[in-house]
Amino acid sequence: MEQGVRELMIDGAVRLLGRHGLQGTSFTEVLAATGTPRGSIYHHFPGGKEQLVGAALEAAGAETLQGLGGLKGADPERVAQRYVGLWRDLLVRSRTGAGSAVLAVTVATRSEEMLTRAAAVFRSWRERLTELLADGGHPDPAGFAATLVAACEGAVVLSRAERSLEPFDAVAAFLLAEARDATPRGSGG
């Protein structure tokens, strides 16, 4: 039961970070969004907001990696479709109101520890994409992995600002065409 409350608070923090950024995500907002009792804060996060945000970063990173599951041996186009699809799904579900919790922390924190943690999440995504793209025969898996992460993060920001999927879809189409061009002929993924 206690583990459930902690996870609920972490999930709430991930959602709030993606919607309201670091400054807009306080313990009060997390409690309100999750319906958890105030005492849960000090019990589960005695290190304060930074501890909760760190746990939220780890959770957001793990969720994206989980979304890339089952792609071992897939062609580059399929890998790119899945990664792009994760971000498009977030935009659709939130009606372009939510973005990356990891980006939200990165652009707003003054904490070296939080920057290090955010960098570790971005690195884990790039490394996993690099592995998958290399397995699928991409000629520049590390370069394209970095491009996927950076382009999707930026496209989400544009779509949120413009309150439209159009910028994201334009970037996604470009990325998917690049992945298609890099997919070895005869690859069925």
pLDDT, tens digit (0-9, with 9 covering 90-100), for 23-42: 888 888 888 888 888 887 88
pLDDT, tens digit (0-9, with 9 covering 90-100), for 107-124: 999 999 999 999 999 999
Measured CA to CA, the distance from residue 88 to residue 168 in angstroms comes to: 7
For residue 178, what are the contacts with CB-CB under 8 A and spacing of at least 6?
A: 80, 144, 147
CATH number, domain of 146, equals: 1.10.357.10
Q: CA dist 130 to 45, 145, 174, 176, 184, Å?
A: 34, 5, 19, 16, 16
Residue 72 CB neighbours (<10 A): 10
96 occurs within a structural domain: yes
pLDDT at 41: 81
pLDDT at 2: 46
pLDDT, tens digit (0-9, with 9 covering 90-100), for 127-150: 999 999 999 999 999 999 999 999
Looking at the structure of the chain, the number of domains it has is: 1
Q: CA dist 70 to 64, 132, 136, Å?
A: 13, 10, 13
188 occurs within a structural domain: no
187 occurs within a structural domain: no
Residue 167 CB neighbours (<10 A): 19
pLDDT, tens digit (0-9, with 9 covering 90-100), for 80-100: 999 999 999 999 999 999 999
189 occurs within a structural domain: no
Give me the sign of the Cα torsion angle 158, 162, 165, 167: negative
CB 41 within 8 A of CB 53: no
27 occurs within a structural domain: yes
Confidence check: pLDDT of 13 > 50: yes
pLDDT, tens digit (0-9, with 9 covering 90-100), for 39-79: 878 888 888 889 999 999 999 999 999 999 999 999 999 99
59 occurs within a structural domain: yes
pLDDT at 187: 52
pLDDT, tens digit (0-9, with 9 covering 90-100), for 161-177: 999 999 999 999 999 99
50 occurs within a structural domain: yes
15 occurs within a structural domain: yes
Give the residue numbers spanning the domain of 74: 2-182
Residue 63 CB neighbours (<10 A): 13
Confidence check: pLDDT of 1 > 50: no
pLDDT at 186: 61
Measured CA to CA, the distance from residue 39 to residue 25 in angstroms comes to: 18
